[in-house]
Amino acid sequence: MEKERTRVEQLIISQDLNTNNMYNKERKLQFIQDIYGNYNDVTDDIIISMVRLFNQFGKYEEQVSSTGKDFFDMNTSEFIKFFEYFQWNRNSIAQKKSFIKSYLTWGYNNDLIDIQVIRELEEVKNDNVSKKDAFEKYYFKYFKDLVNGMKYTVSTLSNDDRQIEEGTQLQTADIAIYLAWFGVKMKDICELRKMDVNEKHNQIFIQSIDSFINIPEEVMKKIVFYRDAESYVLYGKHDDRYDYNYADTQMLLRTQALSKFTELSLSTLISKYFNYKKSGNPKVISYQRVYWSGVYCRAHEYERMHERFSAKDTETLSKVFHEQYNSPSRMSARLADYRDYCKHFYPKEEYKY
């Protein structure tokens, strides 16, 4: 009789999840099943995210040695290289480290590894992990650097390469990235309405916080032009011209086919235009990293005009970073990530830490 599939295995099949890169697949899936799959209060989305994480991690595990190496067999040096390989920021490193520790703890409890492996992981400190490559690749020092990066990538696209599925277009991606830099969170930008654009005062109204975000006049002009446009043009092979009417909607971000964006559809659109592999652009443009680049850039200017942030000044940090901190550890992690950004982009002779 065929063995009954576990909840994790059923999800992999029903959701068509990619596990091709997962190293020691059977062991990893057993861990997910034991720790997450046997409990009704754990959602399918959580399990799916665990599968995807291990599949991502496998890209590093496979190449650690000539034969590959599971986390069970790594030492501190190899764990450090793992975190540097994926170029995560400080917050992401802490999250991934916690997840890997739960995997190692499961292995220890099942007599698969010695306690020393967990100690090897615990020796990895944030300051041990170089974030230079992460900041070079994903973050921006100034708005003009971001704009130049966007223009460079798009300028390399030939007409054939720019054939994106019908209903998408570059201007929507441009506006989204501009708003990311100036502080509109991704969950909010998908809810922006045309009426939320106040060109008279150069502001964007954010419904979730019942407040306005200031936008420079030159950027506001682009937003207003986009808001009021009823159609756009795509050029295809042999310079063929295609005219599309925007969807009839009150939402600011829209295309011919979409009257409202989701976070996933917006991320996909941005990636198609700005992370073009043949462009040779070393920068990767993602909504979240652009958002935090803008927040950190403005935080740096605020700090220079006032005084160095104090980890005890929760009110100021919440105001500057646009977050509510329910725990000291979360606030410390954000402040530390900001410090990493400043150390990379602003030389010590310009601004001492």
Residue 22, C-beta contacts closer than 8 angstroms, at least 6 positions apart: 28, 29, 51, 54, 55, 57, 58
Integer Cα distance of 107 and 28 in angstroms? 10
pLDDT band at 141 (very low <50, low <70, confident <90, very high): very high
**Highest mean pLDDT of the ranges 67-76, 215-224, 262-271:** 215-224
A 10 A CB-CB count for 141 gives: 16
Which 8-state DSSP code applies to residue 218?
H
pLDDT for residue 279: 53
| Residue 3 confidence (pLDDT) above 70 | no
How confident is the model at residue 232, as a pLDDT? Answer: 80
pTM beyond 0.85, yes or no? no
Q: Are residues 283 and 138 in contact, defined by beta-carbon separation less than 8 angstroms?
A: yes
Residue 321 has pLDDT above 90, yes or no: yes
Q: In the structure, what pLDDT confidence band is assigned to residue 353 with cuts at 50, 70 and 90?
A: very low
Which pLDDT score, from 0 to 100, does residue 228 have? 94
pLDDT > 70 fraction of the chain, expressed in percent and rounded? 90
User: In this predicted structure, what is the pLDDT of residue 149?
Assistant: 87
State yes or no: pLDDT of 41 exceeds 80: yes
Residue 277 pLDDT? 58
Instruction: Provide mean pLDDT across the span 101-126.
Output: 95
